[in-house]
Structure 1
Amino acid sequence: MRNRLVLIALIGLGINQSYAQQQAAYTHYMYNTLVINPAYAGSRDALTFTALGRFQWVGFKGAPTTQTFTVHTPIARKNIGLGLSLVNDKIGPTNNTAVNVDFAYRLKLSEKARLCFGINGGFNSFSAEVDNLTLADPTDAAFLTNRRGKMLPALGAGIYFQMPNFYVGASVPSILENNLFANGTSNSMDISKERRHYYLIAGAVFTISPSVKFKPTVLGKLVQNAPFQLDVTGTFILRDLIDLGIMYRTGDGVGALLGVHISKQFLFGYSYDWSAGVRTGKSNGGSHEIMMRYDLLFNNDDKIKSPRYF
């Protein structure tokens, strides 16, 4: 178990400039879009609240846990979207909290198509509690002192094209590559540094019958010194009440999703995925996600009658 803690610490701290994927992965990425693309703000034509909790590698001590909360709405005749994104991500002894304000300009191309441009800005708060770890080398400079609440600026951008039955977007939710901390030597090298992540997201809805629709979605993520990762999800929507989906994540594993439309405004989702493609899959009980989304509609019956699938 001690070896596992050291492994988690190394992953979280990025020792010896070993840069890997730092931003959290979400099985419910298709419902958590604002976290990765600020251009999504206001796209549901409602005041939308979304909360998500991810519990990864259950049973593996020090495993990642992530909580997100977003709220966004259109304003100014729906040409502007405003949002707020909160993310708390913990892995082993490290914790990162991000707060961002999202702004989107929504250009109406036709009655059914919009092209949206977005930016976000805010801050990340990074901390690392490393003094209780058991180390192979007790003199390792990276683990001598805790790092508490270092505030880092954040800036991101994205583009998002939407139609009632199709969307595609690209984004860089964190452009800045901040130094988390250095080793403190005279020829100091950064031992942990943020890396820029690039995202591509797309999805569509196809009507199979009056009561069944099929929604394929994809999410691609690219970051330096890590393999390109692709999430592919296929979801069947039954009578606009139940969503049943399966997911495959390259280099990681597979998963299943369940969504329940408690009302036309309230969606509850649950997913389970198993890291079959990595070593941790043998040492944990898989990963769970719980998601809730609520659309507050402003006396607009048309939107209640016409479900939004994205």
Structure 2
Amino acid sequence: MRRVYLFIVCIGLGLAAKAQQENQFTQFQHYKLGFNPAYAGNAEGISIAALVRSQWLGIKGAPQVQLLSLNMPVLNNRVGIGANFARASIGVTQQYTAELAYAYRIPAPRGHLNLGLMTSIRNFQMNFDALQGSQPLTNDSAIPVGLQSKYVPNFGAGIYYDAQNFYIGVSSPRLLNVNVDLADGNGTISREVPHFFLMTGVLIPLGAKIKFQPQTLLKYVKGAPFDADANLSLIFNDRLTVGVSYRLGGSRVTGLGEAVSGMFNVQMGKNIMLGMSYDATLSELRRYNNGSVEVVLRYFINGRSSGDVIYENPRFFF
């Protein structure tokens, strides 16, 4: 029997059918712009973040993500702009995404209400020559050959409210139900479907040097099971953060969810933050992998508001 890594290919195709197509991140609080364009400009300065995620260590062809995110306020903080560049891979499939975000900031009680728009273009690739089998794959004419690729444009929108110690946002980065079939033919097999996100968090002082921060990201896709990430963090001296996170999903048999995670963030100086997390898989897939790891590095360049006020606070936690 031909031993092709079909389960990875099927996962990739399934993501284009009725499932969660967007990448998931344990440290989603450091990549809000990827979920909600209305977050653009909320860092009160130039914020540059790089994030790397390796999922299901030990499984060949498991999901990998590398991304770079930039956002900043302009026009005296009335407008925010941002950009994301990401590469994601699973099995023989690769996905390159470029996004531009715009947000208009409206003064609101105790904070700002941001209205955001996002435009994006994605390049889907599948390299069938990378498949491996116990027999020559050319013996089966049903298996495509070579590299197949397609560019897909889309747009999204979001709303984000940020107060001093609280935030909440609703968004959908991609609203068009566009065709993502790689091969030409009659009919449509797979589409990019809209994803809807609700994120919220609050910062609660517990003393002079300790703060408590619960955060959650709810995810909804029509035709797919409801999904969510929730994390609880303790912030010490505004420099060191330790926390735990839990992700729904995974197996309906065990009912334990998809993963439980540990997080560690440290602010190294005024402008640099380093964050790390490790996910322990809870589903039956835990027998075949060694968990997932994620590293984020964020650099902040102080911005200037109206007048001569310089923002000193990088607001890494919001």
1:23 aligns with 2:29: no
1:304 aligns with 2:312: yes
Indicate the larger mover: 70-79 or 127-136.
127-136
1:42 aligns with 2:41: yes
Shift of 1:28: 0.8
Could you report, residue by residue, the CA deviation over 1:237-294 in whole angstroms, capped at 9, with x for unpaired residues? 01111100100001211001000010232110000002212x3221011000000111
1:245 aligns with 2:243: yes
Match of 1:271 in 2: 277
Q: How many residues align?
A: 303
Shift of 1:99: 0.3
Counterpart of 1:37 in structure 2: which amino acid? N
What are the within-5 Å matches in structure 2 for residues 152-301 of structure 1?
A: 152-181=152-181, 184=184, 188-251=186-249, 252-277=258-283, 279-298=284-303
Shift of 1:4: 7.7
**Following the alignment from structure 1 to structure 2, what is the Cα–Cα distance between the partners of residues 4 and 263?**
49
SS at match of 1:14: helix
SS at match of 1:21: coil
Shift of 1:191: 2.7
Match of 2:62 in 1: 63
**Following the alignment from structure 2 to structure 1, what is the Cα–Cα distance between the partners of residues 17 and 125?**
18
Could you report, residue by residue, the CA deviation over 1:113-163 in whole angstroms, capped at 9, with x for unpaired residues? 10000001131011001234257997574x414453311112111110001
Over 3 Å counting, the alpha-carbon distance change for 1:68 and 1:211 in structure 2 is same
Shift of 1:180: 1.7
Over 3 Å counting, the alpha-carbon distance change for 1:35 and 1:151 in structure 2 is same
Shift of 1:183: 5.7
- 1:5–1:133 contact (8 Å) kept in structure 2: yes
**Following the alignment from structure 1 to structure 2, what is the Cα–Cα distance between the partners of residues 76 and 261?**
28
**Following the alignment from structure 1 to structure 2, what is the Cα–Cα distance between the partners of residues 11 and 307?**
37
| Structure 1: gaps (5+ residues) | none
**Following the alignment from structure 1 to structure 2, what is the Cα–Cα distance between the partners of residues 295 and 14?**
38
Over 3 Å counting, the alpha-carbon distance change for 1:211 and 1:225 in structure 2 is same
SS at match of 2:129: coil
**Following the alignment from structure 2 to structure 1, what is the Cα–Cα distance between the partners of residues 243 and 17?**
35
Q: TM-score w.r.t. structure 1 length?
A: 0.91
Shift of 1:298: 3.3
Q: Match for 1:119 among 92, 117, 120?
A: 117
Counterpart of 1:282 in structure 2: which amino acid? R
Counterpart of 1:69 in structure 2: which amino acid? L
- 2:300–2:314 contact (8 Å) kept in structure 1: no
Counterpart of 2:287 in structure 1: which amino acid? K
**Following the alignment from structure 2 to structure 1, what is the Cα–Cα distance between the partners of residues 239 and 309?**
18
Match of 2:254 in 1: none
Shift of 1:224: 2.2
**Following the alignment from structure 1 to structure 2, what is the Cα–Cα distance between the partners of residues 51 and 170?**
23
What are the within-5 Å matches in structure 2 for residues 92-111 of structure 1?
A: 92-110=91-109
Over 3 Å counting, the alpha-carbon distance change for 1:158 and 1:306 in structure 2 is closer
Indicate the larger mover: 164-173 or 190-199.
190-199
Counterpart of 1:234 in structure 2: which amino acid? L
Match of 2:83 in 1: 84
